[in-house]
């Protein structure tokens, strides 16, 4: 556990922020490696070397921690996708390809990320709610992007396309992470683009 001098001289707000980050990182490692059943107050505190009292300084319960883990990984993914799309050729094909590649690449670069975002999030009610909110943000983003790149498109057709794309991306990521689509990321993206566009 932490030594009494570990936080000496560190302002209270900074101490709490650092401890919260340690707990979230520990939760990510346990959750990502072994699933929800491996995450408890004691296991998380043991993983990061904190006394259990510090857990309740930041989180009401394990679900609260898991929500924070999901939020952190989701925010990291959003940054990666936004950067990839921004750097891509300014066409529907170029930006769609960059977005798909970013999602699949981010998720498989560290399989724990994919487990948090796409696998475990299906079963846990707290995470399922966050996953639904993240998918809605993706759907809105697809609509906005599609409207910018193809302003003449029919609004109903655009809404249907955005809904299909959003659901398909979640399943595509899940299948990619299980290995059922092989190991050639470029080929998977090419097939996805052909079907989507």
Delimit the CATH 1.10.357.10 region(s) of the chain. 64-196
Q: In the CATH hierarchy, which fold is given to the domain comprising 64-196?
A: Tetracycline Repressor; domain 2 (1.10.357)
Write down the pLDDT at residue 80. 94
Q: Do 32 and 112 contact (CB within 8 A), yes or no?
A: yes
Structure confidence by residue, pLDDT tens digits, 140-197:
888 888 777 777 778 888 888 888 888 899 899 999 999 999 999 999 999 999 988 8
- Cα angle vertex 22, ends 18, 23, to 5°? 120
Q: What angle, 0 to 180 degrees and rounded to 10, lies between the N-to-C axes of helices 155-178 and 92-109?
A: 30
pLDDT at 52 over 90: yes
Write down the pLDDT at residue 8. 66
d(CA 156, CA 169): 20
E strands of the chain, at which residues? none
d(CA 56, CA 116): 22
d(CA 155, CA 143): 9
Delimit the CATH 1.10.10.60 region(s) of the chain. 12-59
Instruction: Identify the residue with better confidence: 121 or 139.
Output: 139
d(CA 143, CA 6): 49
Write down the pLDDT at residue 1. 53
Structure confidence by residue, pLDDT tens digits, 74-92:
999 999 999 999 999 999 8
Write down the pLDDT at residue 18. 94
Phi/psi of residue 110, each to 5°? -135, 100
Q: In the CATH hierarchy, which fold is given to the domain comprising 12-59?
A: Arc Repressor Mutant, subunit A (1.10.10)
Stated pTM of the model: 0.86
């Amino acid at each position: 556990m932490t030594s009494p001098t570990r936080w000496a001289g560190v302002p209270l707000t900074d101490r709490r922020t650092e401890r919260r980050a340690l707990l979230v990182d520990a939760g990510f490692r346990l959750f990502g490696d072994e699933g929800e059943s491996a995450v408890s107050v004691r296991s998380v505190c043991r993983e990061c070397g904190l006394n259990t009292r510090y857990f309740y300084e930041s989180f009401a319960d394990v679900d609260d921690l898991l929500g924070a883990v999901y939020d952190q990984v989701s925010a990291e993914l959003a940054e990666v996708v936004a950067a990839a799309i921004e750097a891509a050729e300014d066409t529907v094909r170029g930006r769609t390809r960059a977005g798909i590649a970013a999602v699949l690449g981010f998720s498989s670069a560290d399989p724990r990320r994919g487990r948090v975002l796409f696998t475990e999030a299906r079963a846990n009610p707290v995470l399922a709610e966050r996953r639904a909110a993240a998918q809605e943000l993706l759907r809105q983003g697809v609509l906005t992007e599609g409207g910018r790149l193809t302003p003449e498109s029919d609004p109903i057709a655009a809404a249907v396309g955005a809904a299909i794309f959003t659901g398909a991306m979640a399943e595509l990521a899940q299948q990619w992470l299980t290995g059922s689509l092989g190991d050639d990321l470029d080929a998977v993206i090419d097939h996805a683009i052909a079907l989507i566009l």
